[in-house]
Chains A and B, each alone.
Chain A
Amino acid sequence: MSKWITEAPLDLNALLQETEDPASGALVIFTGTVRNENDGRPVQGMTYEAHTALAEKVLRQIEAEVLERFPVRRCRIQHRIGALQLGEPSVYVVVRAGHRAEAFQAARYGIDEVKKRAPIWKEEHYITGDSRYLDGTPLQPPQKEEYPE
Chain B
Amino acid sequence: MRVHVVFYGRLKQDTGTKQAVLDFDAQALTVRDVVDRVVTQYPALRPLLDTVACTIGAELVSPDQAVRDGDEVGLLPPVSGG
Contacts and interface: CB of A to CB of B under 8 A. Distances in A.
Interface of A: 32, 48-51, 53-57, 79, 90-91, 111, 114-123, 133-142, 147
B13 A133 contact: yes
Interface in B52-75: 52-53, 55, 57-62, 74
Contacts of B79: 115-121, 136-139
A137 B78 CA distance: 5
Nearest to A143: B60
A142 B8 contact: no
Given A54-B55, A138-B53, A147 B80 contact: no
Contacts of A134: 80
Contacts of A90: 81-82
B51 interface: yes
Contacts of A137: 78-80
Chain A facing B: main interface SS = mixed
Given A138-B53, A139-B76, A54 B58 contact: yes
B53 A139 contact: yes
Contacts of B51: 138
A142 B60 contact: yes
Given A118-B81, A120-B80, A53 B58 contact: yes
A119 B62 contact: no
9 contacts: A54-B74, A57-B58, A114-B81, A114-B82, A115-B80, A120-B81, A121-B79, A137-B79, A142-B61
B58 A141 contact: no
